Structure 1
Amino acid sequence: MKKKSSAMRMVASMTATGALIGLVVPALAIDFTISGFIQHQIAVKLSDKENENNQSGDPYNGKQVPLEPMGLDLSSLAAVNNLLTGLSLPPLSSVTNPLFGQAVSIPPTGYRDVASPTNDFNHFMTRLEVNMGAMIDANWSASLTMRAVYEWNPYHDVSDVNFYETQFRDGGGGTPLEYADKNFMIDFPVAKINFTSGPLVVQVGNQVIAWGEAVFFRVMDVPNGLDLRRHLILDPALEEFSDKRVPGLGIRASYQVTPDWEVEAFIQKFEPTIYPNPSTPYNIIPDQFTLHERYKGIADDVWNVGGRIRGQLGNLGLQFFAVSRHNPDGAIRWTKSGVNKDISPLLPGSGAVAAETPFERDEARGVKSQEEWFHYAGNVRLNGVTALNSAVDDFQPATGSLTAYNVGDSQSLAAAELDTFFWLSGGLRGHIERVFPYENVFGASINYVFDGEPGSFLEQLITRVEFSYTPNKVFTAPSLSKGFQVEDEWAAAAVVEKWYRWSEDFPAAYLVAQYLYKSAGDIFGRSLDGFGGTDGGPPGKGLEDYHAVAFAGFQPSPSLEWRFEWAVLYDLRGGFYVQPGVRWKPDDKWQVDLHASVFAGDRDNYNALSTLDFADEVSLRVTYQF
């Protein structure tokens, strides 16, 4: 009832506002403009591979994985069961199950009794966006954008699919001006008053701040986080996250000091990056772990501040910025489960102790074996051995009371300890939390426009270098330890872009090539120290740095009715993200976009892009503009 009343209050407020505008407009003669679009988006899977981060995509579903509790190979008990069956005698489980429950299986196995439905669609959404502007006088204006999306929910997982509700607010919204339910959300990404007086421009209200121009990469684009609920990062790369930035309430002001130099500053309420929910097509956190968002009541009343200086010296452009912020992507670590449930049928009364550890007994959908544990640790670039040690050491004395111990660097001891607890419990769910550390980011960019011979490739060729420096940046540690991982990070992007006419019969094509470097994290902000693990093998030893290159662009047709696009990202450790596309715009009302997203490569846990190799798809967008 609370959500319904919230929605009704929003509708009533909008109705009252519309009535008020109707009364005020004739009196003040405000010049109103209104435009917008309605759009349908469909993404069809290109493979039968399901998202492994969801229950239905777990590769261990339906498998009897042998366990070795305390490092003991008890597989011979299977032969005893076979013998008893051949003699028409009851199996060993007929004795152990009444005593210990079905979780403590004989012989020990980690069986995931979870269905694996298949899906044909990743995305099936309808979107309405209305942009309203009001010119009050020569100095004052207002801007309002209303966005409403509805997900038709053709995706199947073993749990209810909740596309949009978040943990951040009581109404489920991701920002203060958003209302969200499982299948739809409505928000106002822009709701601001603008003041202009000569060289001064001030914007007050809900808004996004877009800095930097790199495709795929975010080197200077640091004021806002990203909303990844709708289509992850799979929209056309040339749109540069234009629909992804999370808006925030704030004040942004710029002043044109001279015709060539501008100063800008902002103060904005901190809003975190919004990850896709479990059981949704693009979920990126394995669903055997419960994520607790430490935002509400903790980081929901903090503010970011920053500024930049931009100038032009002939063909040379300069830009310098500094931002003091809470990292919107956050950092993740183990946290207490708070769930009072006995860790095992063999340990009655252990629930209160287990609640003080990061683990909860979950026989239905928890991790079932050390094989599954190490597989997922490698997938998400964590260290399965040190993650176990952190879960033990950071939650003493509770973990010690359950006889858990630090295994040092030994994977075999870790496997034995894990299998012991997975056998005793029948499956464990891990609990993790995301917090938003404070940091300072400093950076600059330099761009130069070449004056080449008319018609030559150098004519109006633009080169640009963007770089940023974050001292003491806080990363999720590959061990998920409470202390996190702290490193200085450098990020840089070298960009070359050009409008080039290949033929007199075609308009100029837009071409852009880029190189990215990061010293401590990958393109998704994960610590490089967790890279390199192999499935079933030892944890990875990490990478020294991250390198990637990209090439993107588009070629319009002679009539401009068609536009052929491409974007390719190559992780130099072996991963590809290829995104070809075509756009058809027959008139000023209709537009159809068709593009594919394909991930490929080798050395999976050495490159960053293999994280998304489940997301191969073809995406269609049909838009009607008004």
Structure 2
Amino acid sequence: MDRRRTYRPHRSCQPELEPVTKGSGGNMSGKQQRGVAGIIAGSVISGALVGLVIPALGFDFSISGFIRQEMAIKLSDKENQANNQGNPFNGRDVPLEPLGLDLSTLGGVNNLLGSLALPALTDITQPLFGSALTLPPTGRRDVRTAKNDYNLFATRVEVNMAAMIDANWSARLTVRGYYDWNVYDDNSDTNYFETQFRDGGGGTPLEYAEKDFMIDLPVATVDYTNGPLFVRIGNQQIAWGEAIFFRVMDVPAGLDYRRHLIFEPAIEEYGDKRVPGLGIRASYQINSEWEVEGFIQKFEPTIYPNPHTPYNVVPDQFTLHDRYDGYADNLWNVGGRIRAQLGNLGLQFIAVSRHNPDGVIRWTKSGVDRDLPVLPGSGAAMAETPFEVDQQNGVKSQEEWYWYANSIRLNGTQGLNAAVDDFQPATGSLTAYNVGQSDALARGELDTFFWLSGGLRGHIERVFPYENVFGASVNYVFDGEPGSFLEQLIGRIELTYTPNRTFTNPTLGQKFIKEDQWSFAAVAEKWHRWSEDFPAAYLVLQFIYKNGSDIFDVGTRHLSGYGSTSTSPPHGTDYSSAIAFAGFQPSPSLEWKFEWAVLYEIDGGMLIQPGIRWKPNDKWEVNLYSTIILGEEDGRSALAVVDYADEVGLRVTYQF
């Protein structure tokens, strides 16, 4: 069997269920109680069993962990527009103009019929094709809009174990369980964690996932140390970057966005996001100044949130096929770096040969044999195009098509042309045609097919191209006057170069965009004591510049898709840049910690995240923080797509 054709379909491929309204804080079901209890008990028991066995073998052993309740309470009535329950066209009758004609009146319809030598109508009626071929032509989404109070309501448990076997050998194991209580108001039986990547639904080889929980081993390693040599073997996260919000040198691993997208406290620097992988990592301390390090690690892709989930980033009218299982599941990344500390001067050089974990996206054949209602027998041809008939949750109008193209930084007109040209002769047999540069022709053609079908779902695929990343950084520790701001101020510059990088084309065409990419960051950080009465505060100021793609790199979208509106095509931009300022100030007793993070996109939007942590003792911690997003809808902001996510986050942690 050709494994390339045996992918498991995304949940958005499956039939839509009746609306499921779970409310924003209803009573916990018995199944939920058993589920979260099982995760907590399983994680703790597994740690306890290891804790009983390993000391019996004569090893030094330690175990620690925590149980945490996490929630994010919405601050606005905006819903995620990527989900069908947040689609701004829900419940709206959008007039269609098939063939570019106004058929909203009896006279308009009869003029068309007369030109075709067909008899006139005495009134406008609704034909027998469901929501297809209605008169007057209308694209209506009969989908309920949700109202949520929460973006997140989940329980996490982690158990960390370490064993010192002898003077040279040691081992570490982390068991992580995460349960989502599914208190959200949505329109489907939502799958929060299962992926298309492998049997068991896990996002990595050492993960098991079902729709409402996941259990994994983010760390499962054996370490060997012998003088200047250090070797780590097993499932591990490789973190080379220290930037807040940004990733320049941090290229070995992808990110797992399923749990809370990017909205944990930014000061934690993606600590919970990096995707672990099986591999070997080794370093050698040449002398007191120079160190070399290298790794080989199984490729694991970035994991995006699933359809209908609160932080979904792919509009529900499109089915995303991840081409990992059978395509990229046996690939390996390799890389190395050289580090030096020459007095106050630090140097670092990296080279990584990898497959882009974020992937690039393009149209793909739907494989769905379903006729256009007015063209019996057209299903075979439709299966060879990137579209399937979906009268429930497909795109209903050219207005909706262009609104979403602008939202996710695509070119609506050239996206249509790519879908037509790249899937000939099937698209031609259905009378689809290339409209050139004419937005008016594109809108007429789109409305024609939405009218004939009653709604179309698009199919796209994510593939993971090979690339080489080269980078260097330099940092310097300033010796200022004691007590001055320059004392122990650290300045750092990071630069990476990716030759001939592959980017998602804003047309979603088969021909990707190739371009050399430069990423640059300038960082200043310092521990500074404002007063003898307070401990030192941590401060960090950062600037980032990238060409080719935006600062977050979701889907490696090319910047030529930026600068559009819902009524005008993108004009593109040459670069993206942003400034971030973050830090924290402990209280004199260390019981309280005041945190902040601000991200400002130059010519874009802003994210503001103030927070406070309370740690009354060594067991309990409460973290309260807010995320406010100001994303301008002018086609220039990478933050605009998550402008709905204003929220207050609360995390209550018990450590053991």
TM-score, length of structure 1 as denominator length: 0.94
Indicate yes or no: 2:469 matched with 1:441.
yes
One-letter code aligned to 1:58: N
The whole-number CA distance in structure 2 between the counterparts of 1:116 and 1:568 is 31
Which amino acid letter does the alignment assign opposite residue 606 of structure 1? R
Q: Matches of 2:51 and 2:408 in 1, distance apart?
A: 51
2: distance between equivalents of 1:469 and 1:66?
48
Give 1:544's aligned residue. 574
Q: AA paired with 1:410?
A: S
Shift of 1:602: 2.8
| Partner deviation per Cα, 1:213-248 (whole Å, 9 max, x = no partner) | 111100011100000000000001110000000000
The whole-number CA distance in structure 2 between the counterparts of 1:623 and 1:226 is 23
Aligned equivalent of 1:563, options 588, 593, 605: 593
- Structure 1 match to 2:224: 195
What is the CA–CA distance in structure 2 between the aligned matches of 1:547 and 1:272, rounded to whole Å? 25
Q: Distance in 1 between matches of 2:364 and 2:211?
A: 26
Identity %, equivalent residues: 68
Counterpart selection for 1:295 from 324, 328, 339 = 324
Instruction: Determine the C-alpha separation between the residues in 2 that align with 1:367 and 1:514.
Output: 40
CA distance in 1, matches of 2:50, 2:251: 37
Superposition map of 1:239-318 within 5 A: 239-318=268-347
Corresponding pairs, count: 604
- Counterpart of 2:403 in structure 1 is 375
Cα deviation for residue 160 of structure 1 reads 1.5
* Secondary structure of 1:387's aligned partner: helix
Q: Deviations over 1:321-360 (max 9, x none)?
A: 0000000000000000000000x22110000000000000
Q: Do 2:47 and 2:161's aligned partners in 1 also have CA atoms closer than 8 Å?
A: no
Residue pairs, 1:161-240, within 5 angstroms = 161-240=190-269
Q: Choose from 366, 369, 388 the match for 1:337.
A: 366
**Residues in 1 aligned to 2:469 and 2:652: alpha-carbon distance in whole angstroms:** 39
Which residue of 2 is the match for residue 84 of structure 1? none
CA deviation map 1:187-221 (0-9, x unaligned):
00000100000000000000000011111100011
Match of 2:76 in 1: 47
Give the equivalent residue in structure 1 for 2:180: 151
Determine the C-alpha separation between the residues in 2 that align with 1:13 and 1:496: 40
- CA change 1:107–1:496 in 2 (3 A) is same
Q: Give the whole-Å Cα distance in 2 for the aligned partners of 1:616 and 1:545.
A: 27
Name the aligned partner's letter for residue 260 of structure 1.
E
Pick aligned residue for 1:587 from 612, 617, 631: 617
Q: Bigger shift: 505-514 or 44-53?
A: 505-514
Among 106, 112, 123, the residue aligned to 1:77: 106
Match of 2:516 among 488, 494, 513: 488
Partner of 1:528: 559
- What is the rounded CA distance, in whole Å, between the counterparts of 2:649 and 2:478 in structure 1? 37
Equivalent-residue separation in structure 1 for 2:63 and 2:640 (angstroms): 43
Whichever residue aligns with residue 365 of structure 1, its letter is N
Q: Secondary structure at the match of 2:400?
A: helix
Structure 2: 5+ residue stretches without partners: 1-37, 111-120
Match of 2:392 in 1: 364
Give CA-to-partner distance per residue, 1:426-471, whole Å, 9 cap, x none: 0000000000000000001100000000011111010000110101
Amino acid at match of 1:65: V
Q: Cα deviations across residues 292-314 of structure 1 (Å, max 9, x unaligned)?
A: 01000110010000000000111
| Number of the residue aligned with 2:125 | 93
2:255–2:303 contact (8 Å) kept in structure 1: yes
Partners of 2:408 and 2:194 lie apart in 1 by: 24
1:510 has 2:538 as partner: yes
Question: CA shift at 1:156, angstroms?
Answer: 2.0
Aligned to 1:472: 500
CA positional deviation for 1:500: 1.2
CA contact (8 A) 1:269 1:303 kept: yes
Counterpart in 1 of 2:446? Answer: 418
Give the partner amino acid of 2:285. Answer: Q
1:574 shift after superposition: 2.7
In the alignment, which residue of structure 1 is the partner of 2:637? Answer: 607
Deviation digits for residues 17-43 of structure 1 (CA, Å, limit 9, x no counterpart): 9878856643x4111100000000010
Shift of 1:479: 0.4
Distance 2:263 2:231 in 1: 33
1:573 equivalenced with 2:642 (yes/no): no
Which amino acid in 2 is paired with 1:330?
G
Alpha-carbon distance in 1 for matches of 2:131, 2:173: 58
Matched AA of 2:125: S
- Structure 1 Cα separation of the partners of residues 516 and 71 of structure 2: 41
Q: SS at 1:392's partner residue?
A: helix
Aligned equivalent of 2:455? 427
Q: Give the letter aligned to residue 470 of structure 1.
A: T
Q: 1:332-389 CA distances to partner (integer Å, 9 max, x unpaired)? A: 00000000000x2211000000000000000000000000000000000000011101
Contact 1:574 1:603 in 2 (8 A): no
2:649 maps to 619
After TM superposition, where is structure 1 displaced by more than 6 Å over at least 4 residues in a row? 11-21, 78-81
Conserved? CA contact 1:573–1:603, under 8 Å: no
Confirm or deny: 8 A CA contact 1:131 1:146 kept in the other structure.
Answer: yes
Conservation of the 8 A alpha-carbon contact between 2:626 and 2:647: yes
> C-alpha deviations, 1:162-185, integer Å up to 9, x for none?
110111011000000000001100
Counterpart in the other structure of 2:5: none
- Distance, in Å, in 1 between the alignment partners of 2:107 and 2:586 is 66
TM alignment of 1:447-466, pairs within 5 A: 447-466=475-494
Separation (CA, whole Å) in 2 of partners of 1:323 and 1:102: 52
CA distance in 2 between partners of 1:488 and 1:458 (Å):
36
1:300 is paired with a residue whose SS is: coil
Displacement of 1:74: 1.2
User: What is the letter of the counterpart of residue 94 of structure 2?
Assistant: V
Classify 1:90/1:622 alpha carbon distance in 2 versus 1 (closer, same or farther; 3 Å): farther
**Which residue identity is paired with 1:550?**
A
Kept in 2: contact 1:78–1:107 (CA 8 A): no
What is the Cα deviation at residue 573 of structure 1?
1.1
Distance of aligned partners of 1:288 and 1:251 in 2 relative to their CA distance in 1, 3 Å threshold: same
1:36-77: per-residue Cα shift (whole Å, max 9, x none)?
A: 000000100010000000001100000100000000011223
